[in-house]
Amino acid sequence: MGNLLEIKNLHAGVEDKEILKGVNLTIKPGEIHVIMGPNGSGKTTTANAILNNPQYKKTEGTIIFDGKDITNKSTDEIARRGVFMSFQLPEEIPGVSVTNFLKYAKNKVTGKPVKIFEFKKELAKYMEELNMNAKNMDRSLNVGFSGGEKKKNEILQMLVLNPKLAILDETDSGLDVDAIKTVSKGIEMFKNGNNAVLIITHNTKILHNLKVDYVHIFVDGKIVKTGKQALAKEIEENGYSKYKNLI
Amino acid sequence: MAKTQLDEVNRNIYDIKNKDNYDYKIKKGLTKEIVEEISKQKNDPDWMREIRLKALETYNKLEMPTWGPDLSELNMDEIATYVRPKSKLNSSWDDVPDDIKNTFDKLGIPEAEKTSLAGVGAQYDSEVVYHSMKDELLKQGVIYTDMETAVREYPDLVKNHFMKCVPISDHKFVALHAAVWSGGSFVYVPKGVKLDMPLQSYFRLNSPESGQFEHTLIIVEEGASLHFIEGCSAPKYNKVNLHAGCVELYVKDNAYLRYSTIENWSKNMLNLNTKKAICGKNAQVDWVSGSFGSRISMLYPMSILNGEGAKTEFTGISFAGKGQNLDNGFKAIHNAPNTSSVVNAKSISKNGGKCTYRSLIRITENAKGSKSSVSCESLMLDDFSVSDTVPTNDIRTDDVEFSHEAKIGKISDKTIFYLMSRGLSEEDAKAMIVRGFAYPISKELPVEYAVEMNNLINLELEGAIG
């Protein structure tokens, strides 16, 4: 099968500061990839660059998704092509309920009308699986949600929108053990042979229940080492110092 | 967002101009002869003609307001204050001339009448062309008719209330209104009668370079209850049109009145409207107000809480786009003990539009144990739109609970990116944020109006990007 995502020699940054200094990354359908690395090494920038966040400027390189060059496509088009990102700090939208927001977004992503009755049933099912309070469905999106509720809500959105590639940017940070398990469970529910997950994390706990295909170590805007699941365990024990010396 | 899934309204329905096919249009300007001619055309009784002429004198004495938006573009010599449409008052839509009926059809009035209203009035230019109410209300003694009929058939009720809640000397445009008023609705709800469906009057101004001066007079007797809806719109012309309506509401002891407005005048309209309510003991008046159209709007509904325990709530939203200056707000006068006022005002400005929230909360010495809480929130969609808050709080007793909160915000790029990452275009994202911002107001509106408001928001935001 062809590549789902192919990042070639990507350079990107914020304002005049270059953060990514030549990232190469290939993800195939059915795979789970993990990006680890010290703070400021470019993990979040990579996620934002894939979705072409206008606050991040690309200076070199290309991003191919599902056979199409998406390097300079607008964020909404990239999302409609099947890329999803779970945010570290999800935004609050007062006056727009979780249900209405997701129904609207699903309509935009699929291009098809959403049948409200079936949709609400689907939503309720996912919320139960994710140990979410069903009442949150009618609350304004992320308004007054705890940190854990916001992160679970991101996973809920991933399940509902069913992208081809889900990028989880530190979805596990700040979560307790049970909530991390719930997030892992959400990823398992989502995962199939045709889609892929890119997990950005500091914490290997989230990986314990998942079968990870590749672990990439980011240092100073580049991938300095790629390995299998064992690499994550090594980082857990020894930290990044060994890899910092590589550059 | 369920509401926004409905078909979008085409802006064109508001902008459809019928031919200026009037039966009679008075010459432009404002003189004693013109006021006398209007009075003659309308077959006023003597007492009404005298009110008009006195009001004209007052108008000539009063100065233009020196605060608020600049009104210098208004030239009364260029405004025709009375335009009689080619239609008499009808109680069946079939009898309304086609061009006028089509206009109201497109605005959805006859349809809403069938499904969700207890009665409807429709005014076209200066006269009411349709008025009807369900029979069972008639049997309960409810009166809902045009003001002209009320002057003729209920002269004592009108005499005792007309321009009594809003004194003619209040300001220049009230005096103007009293001199040239025409059309509007009269509602009388007898003691203890509670209407479970709203009454709705719709005001449509079609004629260019003219004014609409309808008078709404509502009396809700003791323990009675009413929801009244007012809708307004006009097509756009290049020259100034003027709206100086007047609304007088009498809410007697233990009575309830909800007054909802969606104002969508065209953007050549100067909307200088005056609305006041007097509340008796334990009475309540709630205002729900959406202000979208107009070039300039100066509108500050006032609740006068004269009876102990009287309550009022104001829920309003203004949306100013390019070239619009919407100076809106609310006034509450607490004249009795244990009265309460709650204000929830929001404004949205974009593309250089200006929204001002101007308010007065007066708690008199007598109003011990009263409460007032004011919250106003503004959203600016770009860097060159303007939002301002001008509150006056005049509190003359210590025994009160009072709070005032004001917030001004912008849509952040982060929020837009978040929504776009879920497949929404930038336009969709902004519209969703704005609809969410307006939701606490739109949920208070009757559903058709909430839909209309969401559609207006979508229309206002179309092409707003870039």
The nearest alpha carbon in chain A to B443 belongs to A95
- CA gap A27, B117 in Å, rounded: 60
Question: Mutation test of the interface with chain A: which of B411, B422, B433, choosing the one with the most A Cβ atoms within 10 A?
Answer: B422
Helices (H), A15-115: 43-50, 75-81, 98-110
* Cβ contact, residue pair B435, A95, below 8 Å: yes
* Cβ contact, residue pair A76, B426, below 8 Å: yes
* Cβ contact, residue pair B418, A91, below 8 Å: yes
Q: How many domains does chain A have?
A: 1
Mean pLDDT is lowest, of A82-86, B17-21, B387-391, for B17-21
Among B141, A94, A141, CA closest to B133: B141
Going by pLDDT thresholds of 50, 70 and 90, the confidence category of residue A246 is low
Is pLDDT above 50 for B421? Answer: yes
DSSP calls for B189-220: E-TT-B-SS-EEEEEE--STTBEE--EEEEEE
* Among candidates B418, B423, B425 on the partner chain, residue whose Cβ is nearest the Cβ of A90: B418
* Cβ contact, residue pair A100, B424, below 8 Å: no
Residues of B with Cβ-Cβ distance to A159 under 8 angstroms: none
Residue A208's CB: how many other CB atoms inside 10 A? Answer: 13
Q: Does B47 touch chain A (CB under 8 A)?
A: no
- Residue A140 Cα, gap to closest chain B Cα (Å): 9
The nearest alpha carbon in chain A to B424 belongs to A76
**Look-up of token digits 């909404």:** A76
* Cβ contact, residue pair B418, A161, below 8 Å: no
Rounded (5°) CA angle A18-A22-A25: 130
Q: Are A61 and A99 in contact (CB under 8 A)?
A: no
Task: Report in angstroms the alpha-carbon separations of B439 from A238, B288, B345, B451.
Answer: 52, 13, 12, 11
Using the Cα atoms of residue B131, residue B134, residue B135 and residue B139 in order, give the sign of their dihedral: negative
Burial call A124-163: b when 16+ CB within 10 Å, e when fewer: eebbeebebeeebbebbbbbebeebbbbbbbbbbbbbbeb
- Residue A139 Cα, gap to closest chain B Cα (Å): 12
Residue predicted with more confidence, A246 or B420:
B420
Residue B362: per-residue pLDDT: 98
pLDDT, mean of residues A8-25: 95
- Residue B3 Cα, gap to closest chain A Cα (Å): 10
* Among candidates B421, B433, B437 on the partner chain, residue whose Cβ is nearest the Cβ of A79: B421
At B97, list the tokens.
């001339």
pLDDT > 70 fraction of chain B, expressed in percent and rounded: 96
Q: Are B327 and B358 in contact (CB under 8 A)?
A: yes
pLDDT > 70 fraction of chain A, expressed in percent and rounded: 98
* Among candidates B423, B425, B439 on the partner chain, residue whose Cβ is nearest the Cβ of A109: B423
Residue B12: per-residue pLDDT: 63
Tell me, what CATH number does A63's domain have? Answer: 3.40.50.300
The nearest alpha carbon in chain B to A81 belongs to B423
Is pLDDT above 50 for B7? Answer: no
Q: Are B285 and B312 in contact (CB under 8 A)?
A: yes
Task: Give the A window 199-228 contacts with B, CB below 8 Å.
Answer: none
Mean pLDDT is lowest, of A96-110, B425-439, B442-456, for B442-456
Task: Report in angstroms the alpha-carbon separations of A175 from A147, A179, A184, A237, B418.
Answer: 8, 6, 12, 21, 21
Query: Domain range holding A41?
Result: 5-244
pLDDT tens digits along B56-67: 999 999 999 989
Q: Are B410 and B379 in contact (CB under 8 A)?
A: yes
Residue B36's CB: how many other CB atoms inside 10 A? Answer: 15
Q: Are A157 and A163 in contact (CB under 8 A)?
A: no
At B320, list the tokens.
């100013």
Helices (H), A162-228: 177-190
Residue B234: per-residue pLDDT: 84
* Among candidates B414, B437, B440 on the partner chain, residue whose Cβ is nearest the Cβ of A91: B414
pLDDT, mean of residues A209-219: 93
- Residue B414 Cα, gap to closest chain A Cα (Å): 7
* Cβ contact, residue pair B423, A105, below 8 Å: yes
* Among candidates A53, A100, A161 on the partner chain, residue whose Cβ is nearest the Cβ of B422: A161
Residue B179: per-residue pLDDT: 98
Q: Does B419 touch chain A (CB under 8 A)?
A: yes
- Give the DSSP letter of residue B382: S
Going by pLDDT thresholds of 50, 70 and 90, the confidence category of residue A183 is very high
At B386, list the tokens.
């303007």
Q: Does A74 touch chain B (CB under 8 A)?
A: yes
- Residue B417 Cα, gap to closest chain A Cα (Å): 7
- CA gap B129, B177 in Å, rounded: 20
Whats the size of chain A, residue-wise?
247
Residue B92: per-residue pLDDT: 92
* Cβ contact, residue pair A74, B420, below 8 Å: yes
Q: Are A228 and A210 in contact (CB under 8 A)?
A: no
Q: Does B19 touch chain A (CB under 8 A)?
A: no
Task: Report in angstroms the alpha-carbon separations of B159 from B37, B51, B147, B168.
Answer: 21, 10, 12, 14
* Cβ contact, residue pair A51, B421, below 8 Å: yes
Task: Report in angstroms the alpha-carbon separations of B2 from A112, A123, B69.
Answer: 15, 16, 37
- Give the DSSP letter of residue A205: G
**Look-up of token digits 């708690």:** B363
Q: Does B421 touch chain A (CB under 8 A)?
A: yes
Q: Does A49 touch chain B (CB under 8 A)?
A: no
| Burial degree of B394 (CB within 10 A; 0-12, 13-18, 19+) | exposed
**A–B CB contacts, 8 A cutoff, strictly below:** 83
Task: Report in angstroms the alpha-carbon separations of B20 from B25, B29, B56, B99, B237.
Answer: 10, 18, 27, 11, 12
Residues of A with Cβ-Cβ distance to B422 under 8 angstroms: 79, 84, 101, 105, 108-109, 157, 161
Is pLDDT above 60 for B464? Answer: no
Residue B11: per-residue pLDDT: 52
Residue A247: per-residue pLDDT: 59
- Indicate the average pLDDT of chain B: 91
Q: Are A148 and A179 in contact (CB under 8 A)?
A: yes
Q: Does A160 touch chain B (CB under 8 A)?
A: no
Burial call B323-357: b when 16+ CB within 10 Å, e when fewer: ebbbbbbbbbbbbbbbbbbbbbbbbbbbbebbbbb
Longest dimension (CA), chain B: 69
Going by pLDDT thresholds of 50, 70 and 90, the confidence category of residue B264 is confident
Q: Are A180 and A151 in contact (CB under 8 A)?
A: no
Q: What is the Cα B147 distance to its own chain's centre?
A: 17
Is pLDDT above 60 for B5? Answer: no
Residue A1: per-residue pLDDT: 63
* Cβ contact, residue pair B436, A84, below 8 Å: no
- CA gap B259, B286 in Å, rounded: 6
Going by pLDDT thresholds of 50, 70 and 90, the confidence category of residue B456 is confident
Among B73, B85, B79, B89, CA closest to B34: B79
Is pLDDT above 90 for B364? Answer: yes
- Which amino acid, residue A36? M
Residue B149: per-residue pLDDT: 96
pLDDT tens digits along B168-222: 999 999 999 999 999 999 999 999 999 999 999 999 998 888 999 999 999 999 9
pLDDT, mean of residues A14-34: 95
Q: What is the Cα B201 distance to its own chain's centre?
A: 11
Residue A173: per-residue pLDDT: 86
What is the domain partition of chain B in residue ranges?
14-412, 413-466
Helices (H), B249-319: none
Q: Does B375 touch chain A (CB under 8 A)?
A: no
Among B278, B269, B341, CA closest to B299: B269
Residues of A with Cβ-Cβ distance to B450 under 8 angstroms: none
Residue B209's CB: how many other CB atoms inside 10 A? Answer: 18
* Among candidates B422, B426, B439 on the partner chain, residue whose Cβ is nearest the Cβ of A157: B422
Residue B153: per-residue pLDDT: 97
Q: Does A87 touch chain B (CB under 8 A)?
A: yes
Question: Mutation test of the interface with chain B: which of A14, A53, A91, choosing the one with the most B Cβ atoms within 10 A?
Answer: A91
- Indicate the average pLDDT of chain A: 94
Q: Are A81 and A30 in contact (CB under 8 A)?
A: no
